[in-house]
Structure 1
């Protein structure tokens, strides 16, 4: 059993949580139908391998017998052991109690009394959003496993609780990236319609990242003009409204009941469900939706109750949310593939929002685009979506969304200074969480936390000589998130950092990388020691950089893999990202009294000292992103193979071309570095991810050569998704 890319991605992030952050209670969030149980089984297989092949004692908990039987089969397939595991449900009682698949009902007080709190090493709980109930909580409180894994499509509940806050310290360890699942045809494609809604939300109170629910309820409930707009959109956009199976997401119980009544008046069979609906009535309505006798159910966060209705083909988003998590949960209720469903229709109603509301979160969740590139895609009607997917905005909605995103891009420095100043007593991470800003936003246009605090008069107005230039370079560290480099850089900016001259060779290599990250052209210093020694007088800068590095490490997304063999002494790890100011000194190609990284503009570099060709690959050239004449030269063929086109002058018989082909025989090496775009949203160059060592497989043509490289380490799932996109586009272009 091999994971799909999106599953591989989530398994990697689980590994990061455990091995890098030492967190052993984790929540995995993914839409129904994307293989949560498969991921749990593969994760358990990884834990077994880490345990020397000995399977840890396992308890898998679900609420239905058929789910438990299917889950047991999944684990057996993942482990390659047909006899693995025992059921504890429907009268079946385990005999050895080592690997148990149990229903919640079977684990009553008497069963728990027979089991020690540390009996199970690994506990997996399906549909973890039920964990707040007494039956689940009794089980969770009884056991103390080495690893707890919760699985859910819906971490936030209609009662206002979110299980990540209550059980996981506010964290979601691994969340499905929607575009990865869509690219791999695991979910139904969607047709998203953004429909202008003239309801004015600007006067609604905004607090902690959301509108006031009571005020929204007053605005929406009884608003027949808005309800008529929704009804018209259904008739306009849904092919056969009376045959649809639809869910409408409302802001309150009253709002849901009002919408159901309005649709019944219009001739639809409509119902409203909420937490007070008796279970028998709820099941009757859900059955009626499945068999077509009800066309639409309106509810408050219906998706949060773990209801599985695969046939849903229409969603009405009637409550505003800028939370990407909630938005994806809503979509997840309609993305299940079923026979006869060609696509999911999503009707979203775009009101007149406050400036604090952010459309970008949901559209970035749909498209995997950064903010600046998202604006281009909105303007060009989203030219690069997964097959079968469409985002269609009417003119007014498009203008509102573009204006809203531009507002976030163009946030004024005075506003940032006021925000940062209000959290001056807290760490950088706390400010980012509370303000809902991401780290690059803070460093756009040469801003920095220290400069903003000085602007807000919370630090003295001027710092030591040279501070301003250093603060402008903090943005050059926003990609540094692997533990070894974070630790090395942090050690070198401590109050009593060791001198360059007393560091070991690896430490000196990291010091050179740090030096050139701060001064790409050498800074006019005669030695590394001289330059790094000047940092001692810059306490504010060093404190800020420490916080940035700590924040990066907390949010790392790729597990670092050590280089081995002749590259083992290089200060780099596979699947970490590096700037040119780090790559060149790491490979011995820069010196304080010699060649400087700031002068380097090439995409290839032969590094004689380590007998290595470094290939620096940019997949999508920014200026050609939307050109039909774009030539796709570099792309992932698979997770283990990469196609790369050499420089134009390189022939198959040239010295360079022969070295590429014969590098193994000649004792030289090839390292591949890849980045998606040339520049970041805040204006600087995007760093390259080290894909690791590559070996020549084949080539075609000459001047330039089209070379296929075999990768020693498989591509990370998210990189494969956007790198393989090019090969699809290339095929379409050739056709």
Structure 2
């Protein structure tokens, strides 16, 4: 027996075996801690395979050569019977190829197809160019991803590429115009001589693709790939000091899967446009010239390319459509950081609003500067492919046709101008920089015209004077808000490095009401606090490359504080100014001019730069005041996120003190990162491992401790604190009995998870369901009604499973079933009724009618459900659509969310088909009653944040195509496999349901119905890899979660 393994201090991932357990015990006896954790269910097979493979390899190496095959076969015979006998034949020998008798001999790469290798262009390595030529000789498809392609690289590989092309091997190339290094001659040759498909990303500003990779697909399954530093150039392929890793489908399947899925996602990304030398050569040449620095041409026409929205812009367009179609709201505000394409969204929205090409609704686009109007008009013309669209009304330009007018507010304010237009002349009015709307000039225009649609665009809904235009003009609603994370991931903004730094100031005793500190008390703590100011200066020296050359904004708590900080900086040799609301317009402009020129390095202000000023050169933001408001925090951060020449990153220094117990860090950090409640705490603790490229969030030890304790408290709010919060936010004119759940959630900036997340709550020895009625009873005990029965409380615990209900038709159906005086005669076959009942009794303990009668017998349960449904009805952005094919009679709708119980019941399980939804645990279900295959997909199969072995089985290729892996036992020849492939011919339907993870903020996460799908192609067997084409494009928000590329 092997002696005990010595365990030195460090990180391990060792499977606990009987032998290792003794080593663990020994380490513990020596005083070491040896924490263990369960292997995730999704990773068990992989972890056991690794362990068994290592153990078997050691045993085979140790065995005599003549005994090795027999030993291997004895091990294999202990396994369950396989479709093909795996016993090893005498030898052992390897099958190396299968070919027709007249086929020429195919050369093999130097590295075995099942192996991995690192190539460094050293004397001991095969030359990369030579190895690539050998790989091409046996490839059935070739994919190349490179930042740039040059003719010198083509020459090195020409013979092998041409031979592959002559064999009919498909060749795909993805490249960019980055730094203008690509040779057009190389791309022309790929297309014209090698019959390759080439796609180019023309946006060099926001796309910095540095990847260099080849993949050689083989029908035999022995696919190989190369990932490394070598571009398509002679130096990189022959004699450069380049490193490249060779991957293999057999040795590194998860990495090859990731390569494939990522390449396919890039290939279908609208950012990569097909390259046709006959159509695009001139445009490519101009961009290569410009991006190489050989030309400074400022404006290139992009009208020959379709303007296609990014996924985040599609989501914004869908939000607008939902506000109009679902909620009948026709005054809408869009909030997005400057430079992220708000005008493109407005133009695409206008295009959507047209009923046909000939339909041209009248539009008035209002801005305050001629430059904005000219740029906006060009955007509309590019989107609509109409160079004659629209007229300017600014600076001497007057509209003649008067149908599509791009006007300055100053032009509209000329004496008698408004009266020349009928009030309903414009179907659509768009106002850019809508935060100006409170000004008398804008308000006059808004009050005069009566458009069919009003669209406001702004980066800053909260103005410096405290007015929130969302509340002033849009009933407090923001129709769509671009998440900062999405804009950073799309590379529309400069990345930021955020540092949370402890400043040593204790704010726990400062008066804090309605989400804000008392300004007078803050001012006395900060102004004149030289110790804190010294920490600010030291942080600048530590974090900013050269503070004497920075262009910074500092946000202060008061005018006095701003002047104090400016003086501190000047004494430290950093010329600075303080600007306030009292500063005149000329003084403000001069201050900005000084910052641009470098005469000063920092401008300090209170709220002056929260909104309304376009200052892209800012590269440093100092947050010198505590800010709980997520909106103000993002507005301050946004002042520095604009792209500018020679600006690689925005540095953000946020000074954190010990906060009041009611201060909430979670609001701004969730807004900043877009993370769920569960993930935020872990990310703060682990240093935010998953961020957009180039972005960093770093806390010092003290600040991390302050923030983490605060976030833990807010995300796991004690019942006593939550009850007090409910009491505090009740409107004065509302009684406890008509205090609505939605009213509280909006006022307190809480979510449904705060109310329903725990399942049960306890207060003063009483344990009850986690529900709105429980919180109201405890917050206002004087108005509490009769004691709740155990049955009612048990049912209330299930209400949390319906907090996802989001489509209007289902909400109306559930309300009707809960409130109509009597149940209809056919309720037992009503699928909506079955969905509701199985949500409470998943295993089918009651018939549909009995279950509904049970629910209706408990008024507290009905009222609770109505609160949830009302809140969801008002906040939902879903635009549901009926399913097609054999699923057309189902009440399920595409893009709506469903629990497993709801979706299976909605497809007839428990009514049309025998069984109960609660008994189904698999991710697939064939429902013969409706002839539907329901495919239930969980994208993140492992509970770990990152699991490379399970992440690339199911993913979105684009919004229309979804890659899905069947169960491991499904073969192409099986009845199930054939039904998947031939479903259209056989009259059955496939419906896809997708969720991000198994659990969310309120227990089990619901699925989003993607709707019916059509079989596109299949590869592999046991399991099958199938690509489905969705009948309706998947929602943009879910696509950004489901695609292989974040």
Question: Residue in 1 aligned with 2:1032?
Answer: 713
In 2, Cα distance between equivalents of 1:190 and 1:715: 31
Alignment of 1:540-689 (within 5 A): 540-591=860-911, 594-627=914-947, 630-682=950-1002, 684-689=1003-1008
**Compared CA separation, residues 35 and 355, structure 1 to 2 (3 A):** same
Query: CA contact under 8 A between 1:303 and 1:330: conserved in structure 2?
Result: yes
Q: Give ranges in structure 1 of 5+ residues lacking alignment.
A: 730-735
Alignment of 1:79-98 (within 5 A): 79-98=384-403
What per-residue deviation string (whole Å, max 9, x for no partner) do you get for residues 558-595 of structure 1? Answer: 32223234322111111111001101111112349952
Query: CA contact under 8 A between 2:320 and 2:332: conserved in structure 1?
Result: yes
Q: CA deviation at 1:712?
A: 2.1
Q: CA deviation at 1:126?
A: 0.8
**Compared CA separation, residues 67 and 250, structure 1 to 2 (3 A):** same
1:455 maps to 2:781: no
Query: CA contact under 8 A between 1:17 and 1:23: conserved in structure 2?
Result: yes
**Compared CA separation, residues 310 and 124, structure 1 to 2 (3 A):** same
In 1, Cα distance between equivalents of 2:628 and 2:1019: 48
Q: Which of these residues, 380, 385, 393, is aligned with residue 686 of structure 2?
A: 380
Question: Residue in 1 aligned with 2:407?
Answer: 102
1:437 maps to 2:757: no
In 2, Cα distance between equivalents of 1:719 and 1:701: 27
**Compared CA separation, residues 563 and 629, structure 1 to 2 (3 A):** closer
- Per mean C-alpha deviation after superposition, the further-off stretch among 231-240 and 213-222 is 213-222
SS in 2 for 1:17: helix
Query: CA contact under 8 A between 1:420 and 1:449: conserved in structure 2?
Result: no
In 2, Cα distance between equivalents of 1:167 and 1:151: 12
Q: Which of these residues, 369, 380, 384, is aligned with residue 64 of structure 1?
A: 369
Q: Which of these residues, 537, 540, 562, is aligned with residue 231 of structure 1?
A: 537
Query: CA contact under 8 A between 2:462 and 2:611: conserved in structure 1?
Result: no
Q: CA deviation at 1:624?
A: 2.2
Q: CA deviation at 1:239?
A: 1.3
Query: CA contact under 8 A between 1:193 and 1:392: conserved in structure 2?
Result: yes
Query: CA contact under 8 A between 1:180 and 1:718: conserved in structure 2?
Result: no
In 2, Cα distance between equivalents of 1:249 and 1:145: 39
Question: Residue in 2 aligned with 1:732?
Answer: none
Question: Residue in 1 aligned with 2:303?
Answer: none
SS in 1 for 2:545: coil
- Per mean C-alpha deviation after superposition, the further-off stretch among 457-466 and 650-659 is 457-466
1:28 maps to 2:334: yes
SS in 2 for 1:304: coil
Query: CA contact under 8 A between 1:371 and 1:405: conserved in structure 2?
Result: no
Alignment of 1:323-334 (within 5 A): 323-334=629-640
Query: CA contact under 8 A between 2:610 and 2:632: conserved in structure 1?
Result: no
What per-residue deviation string (whole Å, max 9, x for no partner) do you get for residues 367-423 of structure 1? Answer: 222111111122221111111111111112222222111112332223333433553
1:480 maps to 2:802: no
What per-residue deviation string (whole Å, max 9, x for no partner) do you get for residues 493-534 of structure 1? Answer: 1152x41534596xx111100011122122x32x21122122
Q: Which of these residues, 410, 428, 433, is aligned with residue 741 of structure 2?
A: 428
Q: Which of these residues, 835, 839, 845, is aligned with residue 517 of structure 1?
A: 839
Query: CA contact under 8 A between 2:955 and 2:1042: conserved in structure 1?
Result: yes
**Compared CA separation, residues 276 and 627, structure 1 to 2 (3 A):** same
SS in 1 for 2:347: helix
In 2, Cα distance between equivalents of 1:279 and 1:467: 64
In 2, Cα distance between equivalents of 1:665 and 1:576: 28
What per-residue deviation string (whole Å, max 9, x for no partner) do you get for residues 606-643 of structure 1? Answer: 12222222111111135222456554322222222222
SS in 2 for 1:60: strand
> Which protein, 1 or 2, shows the higher relative CO under an 8 Å CA cutoff with sep ≥ 6?
1
TM-score (structure 2 length as normaliser): 0.67
1:346 maps to 2:659: no
Question: Residue in 1 aligned with 2:525?
Answer: 219
Query: CA contact under 8 A between 1:464 and 1:537: conserved in structure 2?
Result: no
Query: CA contact under 8 A between 2:886 and 2:932: conserved in structure 1?
Result: no
**Compared CA separation, residues 178 and 53, structure 1 to 2 (3 A):** farther
- Per mean C-alpha deviation after superposition, the further-off stretch among 443-452 and 659-668 is 659-668
In 1, Cα distance between equivalents of 2:864 and 2:622: 44
In 2, Cα distance between equivalents of 1:462 and 1:592: 40
**Compared CA separation, residues 436 and 667, structure 1 to 2 (3 A):** same
In 1, Cα distance between equivalents of 2:750 and 2:482: 21
Query: CA contact under 8 A between 1:528 and 1:592: conserved in structure 2?
Result: no
Alignment of 1:199-348 (within 5 A): 199-348=505-654
In 2, Cα distance between equivalents of 1:488 and 1:538: 19
What per-residue deviation string (whole Å, max 9, x for no partner) do you get for residues 189-223 of structure 1? Answer: 11111111221111122222222233322322222
In 2, Cα distance between equivalents of 1:388 and 1:500: 60
Q: Give the 4+ runs in structure 1 shifted more than 6 A.
A: none
Query: CA contact under 8 A between 2:828 and 2:848: conserved in structure 1?
Result: no
Q: Which of these residues, 654, 671, 675, is aligned with residue 365 of structure 1?
A: 671
Query: CA contact under 8 A between 1:696 and 1:710: conserved in structure 2?
Result: yes
Alignment of 1:3-14 (within 5 A): 3-14=309-320
Query: CA contact under 8 A between 1:500 and 1:528: conserved in structure 2?
Result: no
Query: CA contact under 8 A between 2:496 and 2:652: conserved in structure 1?
Result: yes
Q: Which of these residues, 130, 133, 143, is aligned with residue 449 of structure 2?
A: 143
TM-score (structure 1 length as normaliser): 0.94
Size of the aligned set, in residue pairs, is 720
